[in-house]
Amino acid sequence: MGKKIIIIGGVAAGASAAAKARRDDEQAEIVIYEKGPYVSFANCGLPYYIGRDIKERDQLFLMTPEFFYERYKVLVKVKHEVIKINRKEKTVEIKNLATGDTFQDSYDKLVVATGGTPIKPAIPGITLENIFTLFTVSDVDAIEKALTQNDVEKVVIVGGGYIGLEAAEAFLKRGKQVTIIEKTNQLLPYLDEEMAIPLALHLENLGATVILGNGVKEFSGNTKVIGVVLESGEIVNTDLVIMAIGARPQLELVKNAGLKVGQAGGVVVDATLKSSDPDIYVGGDIIETVHLVTGKKVRIPLAGPANKQGRIIGANVVGGHKYFKGVLGTSIVKVGELTAAKTGIGEREAKEQGFAYFVSYTPSLDHAGYYPGARHLLTKLVVEEHSGRILGAQIVGWQGVDKRIDVLATAIYAKMTVEDLENLDLAYAPPYSSAKDPVIIAGFVAANILRGEINLVTPETIKKAINKVIEDDWQVVDVRTPKEYNEEGFIPGAILIPIDELRMRYKELDPNKKTALYCKVGYRSYLGTKILKELGFKEVYNISGGYMGYKSDLEIRPKKGQTSSAN
């Protein structure tokens, strides 16, 4: 008989660890204790089942206890909660949640993958009926029961993070009136603020109400929730509430066992994912690991890292030597027809971490403009000054966001620079990309900034300085056409001189003033900065991302009665 391996938790990291351990050691005895009723289910797919993108409930289950044993000879005991770890004796105490009985089991190696639990703060009224979280299959079952047994028309989502936005889309697809309440001033607080603006606009276009900068004071109702009272005093009527304000790591078990917990709020592990106890490995949402950009310890609870960590643990508990190098926090979310994605660090984080950096914005079409169906996406790069190393990237757009963020995540992992992006050899055909892919365009723009070929000013800087811009020391020039200027809007105080007239009309401008140019996406204004510099203008700046970057709306404000796909 081989080693006895006990795994606490049977979802992402735990299930992956069990399968890998069996593949690498046929003789090991492997037991999973899972306190919930299911093992290895697709928790990331839960909102899509509510929205009916996933048609059948059974599709949520990646593995059953029976199949786990048939395929891997791994014994899975659901509704069994490990309540204590005895490190000295190398035993665990387990409670059978169905019978209430407790018993002990021994291990040679222990794997802890207890994951997180959704946050339900002690808000008055939080225990009323029809207030749910969206974290497990049992949560989904309870929500579906409420939808079928009650007259549910109005749904409030508390929290504008990934789960909140996915839930909002799901209930919109079910024909419900949806209100999203987010305490901060933006959706997806992980993004830089301007990159989150298109998401709020698009959700409003889809019929949702988005309330930002306002928290929940209490829930009203007798037995069932009927209203959400906001901190502002406003009352939002509702038939059902989804609490989606995040999850906290389930650390009680490991803390009581005396395992070391770090300042980032997770269990301290080494590169093999071994804890402070050499016979206990830990993975998933409850550990802290190294951020590959900052080099600092972070706790980033995402499914991708959790599954990779489980695979590494599974190999190492049976004698392997695999290492987990760290995380970039690469993530993506679908919000209606829009997609938002991030990898590495954002501008806010770069500032907090003390990096010397610059940012660039590049609106691009996802494929060749002459091929039908091309849609815009907006890319923001955060770049280290002098070295040009890519620190982070964020993309919001209609199509093709996923493959671009993955290219940029790979580039950041490889410590590439924006000049490396210029030289990437990416696939091109008109239905899929342009001859100069959006990633390469982002590299061109950022590399021009790095080499000092262009002076850039960000849209946020212009917005904050708009009063100063139109004073005597600044001038803003719009180099678009009169039609664009009149129909699409303009930056207040801007002087309209179309790019093709700039060489003839440049004397209308003062060469001694700071001059900021913009067009729709930044290319024509880039040409304009080159022209004005050659004509003797001292300080010329290109507004990064052009007017689209300034508005941050990706052309997503269709007229009333239109669908967003009409743009």
CA nearest to 161, candidates 144, 183, 139: 183
The CA-to-CA distance between both ends of the chain, in Å, stands at 65
* C-alpha torsion 304→305→310→312, nearest 10: 120
Q: Which tokens sit at 435? A: 């001859």
Output the CA–CA distances (angstroms, integers) from residue 194 to 34, 376, 404, 460, in the order listed: 42, 16, 19, 8
Q: Give residues with Cβ within 8 angstroms of 36, minimum separation 6.
A: 10, 78, 79, 136, 138
d(C-alpha 556, C-alpha 566), whole Å: 9
Question: Cα dihedral sign for 215, 220, 224, 225?
Answer: negative
3-state SS, residue 60: helix
Amino acid at 94: I
Which candidate in 3, 29, 37, 44 is catalytic?
Answer: 44
Neighbour count for residue 152 (Cβ, 10 Å): 18
d(C-alpha 263, C-alpha 133), whole Å: 27
DSSP 510-527: -TTSEEEEE-SSSHHHHH
Catalytic residue check, 519: no
d(C-alpha 245, C-alpha 138), whole Å: 18
Report DSSP state, residue 558. P
Q: Give residues with Cβ within 8 angstroms of 243, minimum separation 6.
A: 118, 119, 120, 126, 131, 132, 133, 158, 159
Backbone dihedral angles phi then psi of residue 188, each to the nearest 5 degrees: 45, 70
Cβ atoms of 32 and 74 closer than 8 Å = yes
DSSP3 helix / strand / coil % (the chain, rounded to 5): 30, 25, 40
DSSP 454-514: S-EE-HHHHHHTHHHHTSTTEEEEE-S-HHHHHHH---TT-EE--GGGHHHHGGGS-TTSE
Q: Give residues with Cβ within 8 angstroms of 173, minimum separation 6.
A: 51, 52, 53
d(C-alpha 283, C-alpha 289), whole Å: 10
d(C-alpha 552, C-alpha 456), whole Å: 17
Backbone dihedral angles phi then psi of residue 508, each to the nearest 5 degrees: -75, -10
Active-site positions read 44
